[in-house]
Amino acid sequence: MMAEETNKTVAVTDQRRLGVDLVGQVAIVTGASQGIGQAIAATLAANGATVALVARSVGKLATVAAGIRSAGGKAEEFPCDVSKSEEVSAVVDAIHAKFGRIDILVNNAGMTRDTLLPRMSDEEWDEVIATNLRGPFLFMRAVSRPMMQQRYGRIVNVASVSGLIGNPGQSNYSASKAGLVGLTRTVAKELAGRKVTVNAVAPGFIASDMTAALGPALLDEVKKRVPAKRLGEAWEIAEAVLFLVAPSSGYITAQVLTIDGGLIG
C-alpha cells in the first residue's frame, strides 16, 4: 500500500512541479540535513536559489549539499546549533559576507521530546523550546537587518498543526509551535513596511522516519483520521514554502498555511 502511494506521488510531482524564478537569490534553510528541511533546500536550489544549509550534523549536511550540487544546484554547508545566539549570529554574518545578500530564510529546524505533562522534565521542556522557538527568533533577528537594508525578504517558519490544536504528550512541542505562530504574525507586522514577508506553514502528519516508527497499525489509524486518507509528503511542504518565498507573493504576510489533508478542517 505504501509503495503504491509513493509511486503515485512521484508521478504527480513530476507532472505538476511548481516553478519559481529564484536565480540570484540566497536562501538559508535550517534543519536542512534531512526530511522536510532537505526537501525544502532541494526545491529552492532546483528553482535557482543558492542555498545555505544549516544543521548540527556536519556529515548529513555534506551529503545533502553534494546531492544538490550533483543535480546542478548551488548549496553550501554551515553547521550551527540554532539555539545558540553566538553561533547563529556568526553563521548569518558568514553567509552574508560570502554571498553579499540574504533573500530567504526558512526556519525548519525542530525537535520533539514527547511525554505527558506530569512526567516532563525541565530539560525536556527547555530543549524543545530552545530549538523550536528560540532558534527561529535568533535567525529572524539576525537576518532582519540585511533584509530591511535591501528592502526585500521572505521568511517562512515551519510550525505544526500541533501548535494550532494541541496534541496529548506534546505540551512542549505544541507550545513551541503555537509560540512560533504568534512570533510569525508579530514579526510580519514589524517588517512589512520594508517589503519583508513573514509567514508560516503548519504541516500535519508527514511521511518521515519519525512517522514510520509508529508502525503499520498506528499509521493506519492516523490515515483514518485524515480526510485525505494518506500521509503528506515532504515535497508537498516544500512546494508550499516555494510559493510563499516567490517574488510574486509579496502581498501575503502574517499568514499560516495549514497542510494536513483536511485534518483540522
| pLDDT at residue 255, as a whole number | 98
Place of cell 514577508: 197
pTM attached to this predicted model: 0.93
Q: Which residues pair with 201 in a beta bridge?
A: 158, 257
Give me the pLDDT at residue 265, please.
81
Q: With CA atoms as reference, report the closest residue to 5 among 258, 220, 265, 259.
A: 220
Residue 236: which pLDDT band, with cuts at 50, 70 and 90?
very high
pLDDT at 7 over 60: no
Inter-residue contact 28 to 89 (CB < 8 Å): no
Check residue 2 and give its pLDDT: 31
Q: What is the pLDDT of residue 1?
A: 27
Whole-number pLDDT of residue 3: 32
Residue-averaged pLDDT of the chain: 93
Check whether 115 has a pLDDT greater than 50: yes
- In this predicted structure, the answer to whether residue 104 has a pLDDT above a threshold of 80 is yes
Q: Average pLDDT, stretch 123-145?
A: 98
Instruction: Specify the pLDDT at position 208.
Output: 86
Q: How large a percentage of the chain has pLDDT more than 70?
A: 94
Contact 160, 203 (CB under 8 A): yes
| Phi, psi for 250 (deg, rounded to 5) | -70, -15
- Amino acid letter at 169? G
Summarize the confidence of residues 43-63 as an average pLDDT.
Answer: 97
Q: How far is Cα 108 from Cα 136, in angstroms, rounded to an integer? A: 8
- DSSP H helix total and E strand total for the chain: 11, 7
Banded pLDDT at 207 (limits 50, 70, 90): very high
The C-alpha cell that represents 146 in the structure block: 540585511
Q: Give per-residue pLDDT as tens, 8-27.
A: 333 334 445 789 999 999 99
What pLDDT is attached to residue 213? 79
Specify whether the CB–CB gap between 157 and 180 falls below 8 A. yes
Q: How far apart are CA 117 and CA 128, in angstroms?
A: 14
- Residue 202, pLDDT above cutoff 90: yes
pLDDT digit string, tens, across residues 178-197: 999 999 999 999 999 999 99
Q: ∠11-16-20 over CA atoms, to 5°? A: 135
Please identify every residue annotated as catalytic.
173
Instruction: Fill in the amino acid letter for 148.
Output: M
CATH code: domain 22-259 is: 3.40.50.720
Question: What pLDDT was estimated at residue 260?
Answer: 97
pLDDT band at residue 56, thresholds of 50, 70 and 90?
very high
The secondary structure of residue 233, as a DSSP letter, is -
Would you tell me the crossing angle of helices 135-150 and 171-191 to the nearest 10 degrees?
A: 10
Report the alpha-carbon distance of residue 188 to residue 210 in Å, rounded. 31
> What distance in Å separates the CA atoms of residue 35 and residue 139, rounded to the nearest whole number?
20
- 52: closest CA among 17, 100, 84? 100
